[in-house]
Amino acid sequence: MLRRPPPLSPGAPIAVVAPASPPRSAETYQAGLDRLRTTYDVRQAWTAGPERGYLAAPDAERVAALHRAIEAPDIRAIVCVRGGYGCLRLLPEIDWALARQHPTLLVGYSDVTALHLAFYTKANWAGLSAPVVTEWPQADDATLASFRGWAAGQTPGFVEAFDASPTALAPGTAVGPLLGGNVAVLTRLLGTPFAPDFEGAILVLEEVAEAPYRVDRMLTHLQQAGVLDAVAGVALGTFTTGSLDSDTPTQSLEEVFRDHLAGRPYPVVQGLPYGHHLPRCSLPIGVPVRLHATSAHVSLAAQAPLVDL
C-alpha cells in the first residue's frame, strides 16, 4: 500500500539535504534557501565544507543527513539541494525500515530519480519530482504553483498552466502508478533491488543534453529489460540533445521515439512539460494517474492526491 506523506502547508518545517552533488554556486543556493524560507520553516540545511569533488559530502554523511530528516517527527518535507550525481551510491546504506515508519515528502528530480524510485520500491513512499533548491530563485509562478498544489493535497493539472501541447504517438487510455523521471538514472536501477515493478505503470521519461544515439541506447535497454512491454502507458517530457557534430550522421529524437514507441498497444504521448528546464510541472511519483491519448487530444490526470489528507 502506498505510504503518502502528510501535507506540506505554509510555515511547515522542512529539511534541505544534498544526497547527490553540491550546488554549483553558493550564491544561487543561498538565494534558493532564502526563497524557501519565505514559505517554509527550514529546520535543517546542508552547509558547505565536506564536498568530495562531484559529491556534496562522503556517502556516510549524506546518508546520515537523510536519516536525520526522515526520523525527525516535525519534518514535513525533504527538499534536495540539486541533482548531479551520487544518489545511487547511497541506496544500499539507507535504513528502509526507518523509512517505512516515517513517510516524508521527498522533493527533487534528475539524479533524485534514484531516490524516488528506490523509496517507492523499498518503503512504498509517494514522492514529488519537483524543483530542487538551486532552482527556486528563478522558478516561475506556474512551476511553484504546481509544486505547492501537489504538496498541499490538491491535484493540479499537468499541462493546463503551461505553454505545452502534448501529442500522441500511440492512442489509448490507461490507469496506473506514475513512475519514472530521468531516463539515464532510471536505467541504472535496472537489475538492482531498488528498481520498481513497472507492470501496469504509467512511465514518464525526460533527458537533457544526450545525443539521439544515447537516448536510443537507453530506450533499447528499457525494451530489452522488459520495461516497455510491462508498462500501461508512456509519457515523454522534455528531451534535449545538446550540441551535435554536424559531420556525424544521426537520427532525430523524433525518429528514435517513433522507432521504440509508435504502434505500442497502450497510450504514448510526447511533449509533457516536465524535464530539466523551467517552467515545468511537478510529478507525484507512485500516485495513480489516467493517461488518455487520441490524435486530437491528450490528457494526464491524477486519480488521488499525493499526500495523506
d(CA 145, CA 130): 11
- Residue 154 in grid coordinates: 490538491
Q: Are 128 and 147 in contact (CB under 8 A)?
A: yes
HSE, CB side, 13 Å, CA atoms: give it for residue 288: 8
- Pairing assessment for the beta strands 13-17 and 77-80 based on DSSP bridges: parallel
Residue with cell 516535525: 74
- Residue 45 in grid coordinates: 540545511
Q: Are 216 and 142 in contact (CB under 8 A)?
A: no
Q: Which of 21, 110, 129, 282 is catalytic?
A: 110
Q: Is 252 a catalytic residue?
A: no
Task: Give the C-alpha distances (Å, rounded to integers) separating 213 from 84, 104, 204, 277.
Answer: 22, 38, 19, 21
Q: Is 297 a catalytic residue?
A: no
- Residue 175 in grid coordinates: 490507469
Q: Are 272 and 236 in contact (CB under 8 A)?
A: yes
Q: Which of 135, 207, 210, 276 is catalytic?
A: 276
Q: Are 152 and 258 in contact (CB under 8 A)?
A: no
d(CA 266, CA 173): 7
Q: Which of 206, 210, 260, 299 is catalytic?
A: 206
Q: Is 110 a catalytic residue?
A: yes
CA 47-40-93 angle, to 5 degrees, is 50
Going by the DSSP 8-state scheme, the letter that residue 169 receives in this structure is E
Active site residues: 110, 206, 276
